[in-house]
Homo-oligomer: A and B are copies of this chain.
Amino acid sequence: MSEGGSAKPRPAAEVSEWSAEADVVVVGYGVSGAAAAIGAAAEGADVLVVEHTGGWGGAAALAGGFIYLGGGTALQKACGFDDTPEAMHMFLSAAMGPGLDEAKIEVYAERSVEHFDWLVRCGVPFRAAFFDRPAWEPAGDEGLMYSGGENAYPFADLVKPAPRGHLPQMADKRTGERGGGYMLMLPLTKTAEQSGARVRYNTRFQRLVLAADGRVAGIVARSFGEEVAIRARRGVVLAAGSFAFNAQMVARHVPALSGRPGSAVEQHDGQSIRAAQAVGADVANMWACEAAVHTDPGLMIRGIVVNARGERVINEDTYPGRIGQALMLRHDSQGFVVADEQAVEDAAANRVSSGMPAPQPRWVSDDLTELEAAMHVPAGMLAATVGLYNRHAADGQDPVHHKAARWVRPLCPPYGVFDLRGHTSGFTLGGLRTDIDGAVFDVDGEPIPGLYAAGRTTAGIAAGGYASGASLGDGSFFGRRAGRAAAKR
């Protein structure tokens, strides 16, 4: 049995005493849970949030805080960008698959502006400033940034690019203040509690309670060593994060991610996914993962990223998470950045400090043959790659991977090689299959009565591709809808 304990449902008839009850019980107080609580309370429901840890926020509060929004938000307009729901829909369709949930993509793009306005009404602060350097996050408190490769090949050729990474305004990072995720979760949890939602901390979800007619009637959890049953008069919303920290589930579903969980919290143990599967819930995209590569995007973009054979893997000006996905899923998390002095200097001059030390080359040499030996790259492979890159770059072109001309320049000796081997981590994107109102599908594609889910407990708007902000985005968007739907039952 998994560490989380049994996930099998308990028949309602076997519950001798309910230790609490509410119209809507929300499992998890991260971004999806908070949004679900607000959504349910807005429909007049009595809401109880059950949270594993001693505090609010989940993985969201520790995140950079990107929320993927667009279609013409007030923030996009204030920064001078045109965007439409159609363009956003087209981009998501092109970039987030395979494994797309078309219905979710459609409603998400369609109602993204409204969702931004709702976040603002909840008190989430955004500063109307656009950040335009290659980085994982802005240098300061800018509110808008490209976060999905919209302005790079192949997407820039398909859809008019618009930046859609919306960031809550944080205090300047240099002062040590909390980041964008915190500044998202602070107002959302405040709003939830002002709406009347109650929160029970230190209460670890275990399993669902099932009524004789198959309806989900509540949950069983553990709190300070005791088992408690909590009744949900209308519905349960599972919003307890990914399964990135369940090593067994990762081994069975996303082996490339084994040993590499990141941007998630230990509580992402998959228990709520298993508990729903135990009542017949269906899952989708369990193979999919977000993947970060731990280095400076400003360095990658000015150099080339190669695999263990010295072959380039992707256009280095795309969303750095796509580089991470390519390395993790297609190149066994093995890779290097090859750059020259100018690239290193320019990257350093433009680097956004993220608390990580500045990248240091592992090897420096004028001689590519020497570097190949050091890197254990087959003889001649790196030289062939650099030779061809330089030949094309002399014409300002990259016909191999289509990096934009502004980032293409022949690399000159001495070369510095930065070791990326094993420097990837990520979290899982698969989970429960839900409709656009968070109802959890059974294997027949029918909703399980009384059961809702949102966020990384579910398969969301991203699968084969990803953009920073897709998880806080779809977690808050579909979390809110799930809360409303549960309340209306």
Interface residues in chain A, defined as those with a beta carbon under 8 Å from any beta carbon in chain B: 1-2, 6-8, 97-99, 251-256, 258, 274-275, 277-280, 282-287, 309, 311, 330, 378-381, 384-385, 387-388, 391-392, 399-400, 433, 442-446, 459, 463-464
Contact = CB atoms under 8 A, between A and B. Distances in A.
A285 B256 CA distance: 12
Contacts of A392: 379-380
Nearest to A389: B380
Given A380-B392, A384-B387, A99 B274 contact: no
Contacts of A381: 388, 400
Nearest to A399: B378
Contacts of A385: 384
A360 to B, nearest CB: 28
A324 to B, nearest CB: 16
A2 B444 contact: yes
Given A252-B285, A400-B309, A278 B442 contact: yes
B253 A286 contact: yes
A174 B446 CA distance: 51
Nearest to A309: B400
Q: Is the interface of A mostly helix, strand, loop or mixed?
A: loop
Nearest to A97: B255
A311 to B, nearest CB: 5
Contacts of A285: 252-253
Contacts of A445: 1-2
A286 B287 CA distance: 8
B443 A277 contact: yes
B274 A7 contact: no
Contacts of A8: 280, 442-444
A2 B330 CA distance: 32
A305 B284 CA distance: 33
Contacts of A380: 388, 391-392
Given A280-B280, A286-B286, A99 B384 contact: no
Contacts of A255: 97-99, 463-464
15 contacts: A1-B446, A2-B444, A2-B445, A7-B444, A98-B255, A252-B459, A255-B463, A255-B464, A279-B280, A311-B311, A330-B330, A379-B392, A380-B391, A384-B384, A384-B385
Nearest to A275: B443
A403 to B, nearest CB: 12
A280 B10 CA distance: 13
A340 B6 CA distance: 61
B444 A258 contact: no
A252 B430 CA distance: 9
Contacts of A98: 251, 255-256, 258
Contacts of A279: 280
B278 A443 contact: yes
A290 to B, nearest CB: 16
A445 B6 CA distance: 9
A387 B98 CA distance: 35
A101 to B, nearest CB: 9
A379 B282 CA distance: 46
A6 B443 CA distance: 8
A391 B2 CA distance: 53
Nearest to A385: B384
A227 to B, nearest CB: 16
Contacts of A254: 287
